[in-house]
Amino acid sequence: MTTRSAVSPGTAVSPARVEALRILCRVEEDQAFADLALEAALERAKLPPRDRALTTELVYGTLRWQRRLDWILAPHSRRRIERLDPWVRNLLRLTAYQLQLLDKVPAWAAVNEAVALAKRRAEGQAAPFINAVLRSLTRSGGELPPLPADPVEALATRLSFPSWLARRWARRFGLEEAERLMTALNERPPVTVRVNLLTCSRDILIERLSQEEEVKASPTALAPEGLVLESPGPAFRFKAFKEGWFTLQDEGSMLIGHLLAPSPGETVADVCAAPGTKTTHLAALMQNSGKVVAMDPHAGRLRLVARSAARLRVRIVQCRGGSAEILAPKFKGAFDRVLVDAPCSNLGVLRRNPDVKWRRTESALWTLSNRQQAILEAAASICRPGGTLVYATCSLEPEENEAVVFPFLEIHPEWRLDLPAKFPTPLEQPGVLRCLPHRHGTDGFTAFRLRKS
């Protein structure tokens, strides 16, 4: 490579970019979850607020637009992008994201920092190559390569989704609606919080956040206890959060608790409870009266439920370690209401977890379905006659939803879909909630409310 780097050896590199690159490599090479890797890195690095925000933006933005970035970079690299060293590939993606999709970073600064980062590694052997690719990209003036001829492949490339997922959504929703869904899932998600009605009202929290944090909050459109915060920074650091006045929760997730609609004094089970966001919501809806048994097979994650309950001043949650299948024989017919927030593909929450779309495969959906069926069978056995069960996933895929619930209803005639007495928003059909990001502005959720005769 004859192109020489114009950067000097002493060029400073932003700690945000150093951390973002490290996290992206962990996600690709170690299969780390981006949210957990980011949280750990920010805690370790002790970055100032501005660098924390930039690190978060670079990590999620690069993962969100990964396929599109590879498409943009390909004409400028003499080597195939997928054959590059992961560290080099992620540095190119990270910088291309800044050049193509962020408008606050000057092109020269992004390129210079990338080359400076490359010079720090392996005696700088990759620096000339990285410099050449990025300067070629900047010289192109934003001109994009041709898209694939196939319209679904073109859509998947342009909006950065795996081909298998774009193809199945195009079949189900049609090409135009699939594009709207994918566009919505590429948006930066709003910061939504659930007001802890055991502690305060929505209006009182709005006033407190305005005074203490200078953060503007407005009511959510669907969930009656939800707020959307404008440019809040890390809300979990707010004094009101630490004192249990609110918790972070997507508006679609809040609707799951309202679909189950527990009443004060009832006995309720949450069979996949960790980390406790929905568990504590159920307790709040019950006005801290009755009992919520939180079950989860992972002891470490179950501790998060107890910690969340303590912070939110919830007194009626009892934690029980173990899976639904193991614990069910001890609780046959014991509960008025049961929530199954089933482990799933998480393909409905790609706004918040963009790395998920690159780690899932279509064939894995049926594997998840088998596990979900077993959990639903066990959960149904602990619900009393006349009781209510809600099966929910943060997925829009039929294998994890209709293919689990409808066969269950066929072999269990004592169960039927059930319409709640009241609900904050229209349901897709009686007893079925479907939150679509491009229609409702929430994460993607599917939920079924069932009643046992």
Q: Out of 272, 344, 383, 394, which one is annotated catalytic?
A: 394
- 8 contacts 115 by C-beta, under 8 angstroms: no
Residue 429 DSSP class = B
Helices 402-411 and 364-381: angle between axes, nearest 10 degrees: 40
Q: Are 429 and 384 in contact (CB under 8 A)?
A: no
What is the residue-wise DSSP string for 134-186? HHHHHHTTTPPPPPPSSHHHHHHHHHT--HHHHHHHHHHH-HHHHHHHHHHHT
Contact 342, 392 (CB under 8 A): yes
Chain centre distance of CA 383: 30
Q: Which residue has the tokens 């303590």?
A: 310
Distance CA 312, CA 247 (A): 8
As a dihedral over the C-alpha atoms of residue 116, residue 121, residue 122, residue 124, rounded to 10 degrees, the angle is: 0
Count CB atoms within 10 A of the CB of residue 411: 8
Phi, psi dihedrals of residue 437, rounded to the nearest 5°: -55, -40
Beta-bridge partners for 401: none
> 332: closest CA among 296, 377, 292, 297?
377
Q: Is 200 a catalytic residue?
A: no
Closest by alpha carbon to 358, among 5, 56, 89?
Answer: 89
What b/e readout covers 9-36, taking b as 16+ CB neighbours within 10 angstroms? eeeebbbbbbbbbbbbbbbbeeebbbbe
DSSP string, 346-385: -TT-TTT-TTHHHH--STHHHHHHHHHHHHHHHHHHTEEE
CA-to-CA distance for 87 and 54, rounded, in angstroms?
Answer: 19
Q: What is the torsion angle, in degrees rounded to the nearest 10, for the CA atoms of residue 214, residue 212, residue 209 and residue 103? A: 30
- Given a contact cutoff of 8 angstroms between Cβ atoms, the answer to whether 28 and 86 are in contact is yes
- The radius of gyration of the chain's CA atoms, rounded to the nearest angstrom, is 24
Residue 86 token pair: 């992961």
Q: Which residues are catalytic?
A: 394
